A and B are shown apart, each in its own frame.
Chain A
Amino acid sequence: EPEVTQTPSHQVTQMGQEVILRCVPISNHLYFYWYRQILGQKVEFLVSFYNNEISEKSEIFDDQFSVERPDGSNFTLKIRSTKLEDSAMYFCATAGGDTQYFGPGTRLTVL
C-alpha cells in the first residue's frame, strides 16, 4: 500500500538555524499539506500546495516558513530561522481527492 514518507524522523537544531523537512508524497497525489502538532496539543494546519504554488496558508505560516517541490517528487518545508516555539511534530499529508494521508512525521527539537 502506498505511503507518505518523511525524513528525517528526528531533527535537533539550535535556535536561529535553518531546517528543511522532506516528504515523499504518494505517487499520483497532487495536493500536498504540512501540519504541525506541538506536544500535547491538536494537529494544526500550516500550508497547502497545489500545481506548484501555495493554495492556502494559516497565520502560523509566516515569512520564516517556505515550501517547494524541488524535483517533482520531494515536497519540502523550510524554516529559515528556528525558534524554541517551533519545536513540534511536523506532518506532511498528501491527497488525490478529499482524503488526506499523513506521513509518520518529523520531530523537530529546537534548543
Chain B
Amino acid sequence: EDQVTQSPEALRLQEGESSSLNCSYTVSGLRGLFWYRQDPGKGPEFLFTLYSAGEEKEKERLKATLTKKESFLHITAPKPEDSATYLCAVHLSGYALNFGKGTSLLVTP
C-alpha cells in the first residue's frame, strides 16, 4: 500500500501561471513530510520539511503547506528554471524516507 501519493503526475504551466502540487499521505504519527526537487539525472535537492498540520514554509516562488492528510507545494509565478520533478517523502518506520512517484513540472516561456 502506497503511503505517499502525488498528483498530478505531470503538469505543464506557462511562465507566470501559478499552480499547486499535491502530496497525500497515509502514515500515522507523521514525523516529518519532506519536499525535494530533482533535476534529470541528478540527486534530490532538499526544499522543505513540515512537521505539523497548519505549518507553512516558503522559499522564493515555492510555498509548502501541511494538513493532517496532505501537503501542497504552491508555485507562484513560475519561471522555466522551476522545471523539474518535485518529490514528496515521509519517514518509514525509522528514518528511511518513503518517496512518492513525483510530479514532473514543465514551465514554458
List chain A positions with a Cβ less than 8 A from chain B: 4, 31, 33, 35, 41-45, 48, 55-56, 58, 89, 91, 93, 95, 98-105, 107
Query: What 6 additional pairs, Cβ within 8 angstroms, besides A56-B95, A89-B41, A95-B95?
Result: A42-B87, A43-B89, A43-B97, A48-B96, A58-B96, A93-B97
CB 8 Å contact bits of B76-92 with A (1 = contact, 0 = none): 00000000000101001
CB neighbours of A35 from chain B (8 A): 97
Closest to B38 in A: A43
Contact B94 A55 (CB under 8 A): yes
Whole-angstrom distance between the alpha carbons of A48 and B101 in the complex? Answer: 21
Using CB atoms, name the residue of chain A closest to B42: A104
Residue B20 lies at the interface, judged by CB distance under 8 Å to chain A: no
Would you list the 6 A-B pairs with minimal beta carbon distance, nearest first? A102-B43, A45-B96, A43-B99, A56-B94, A42-B101, A102-B44
Q: Does A99 lie within 8 Å of B49, measured CB to CB?
A: yes
Complex interface: chain A residues within 8 A of B98 (CB): 45
Known contacts A42-B102, A45-B97; is A99 also within 8 Å of B46 by CB? yes
Are B95 and A98 touching (Cβ within 8 A)? yes
Q: B93 — which chain A residues lie within 8 A by C-beta? A: 56
A-B contact count (CB 8 A): 61
A-B pairs with beta carbons under 8 Å apart, 27 shown: A4-B43, A31-B95, A33-B96, A41-B101, A42-B87, A42-B101, A42-B102, A43-B89, A43-B99, A45-B97, A48-B94, A48-B96, A56-B92, A56-B94, A58-B96, A91-B43, A93-B97, A99-B34, A99-B46, A100-B46, A100-B95, A100-B97, A102-B46, A104-B43, A105-B41, A105-B43, A107-B41
- Cβ-defined contact, B87 with A43, below 8 A: yes
Residues from 22 to 44 in B contacting A, C-beta threshold 8 Å: 31-32, 34, 36, 41-44
Q: Whole-angstrom distance between the alpha carbons of A105 and B39 in the complex?
A: 12
Q: CA–CA, A42 to B49, complex, Å?
A: 19
CA separation between A58 and B95, bound complex, in Å? 12
A31 to B1, alpha carbons, bound, how many Å?
Answer: 27
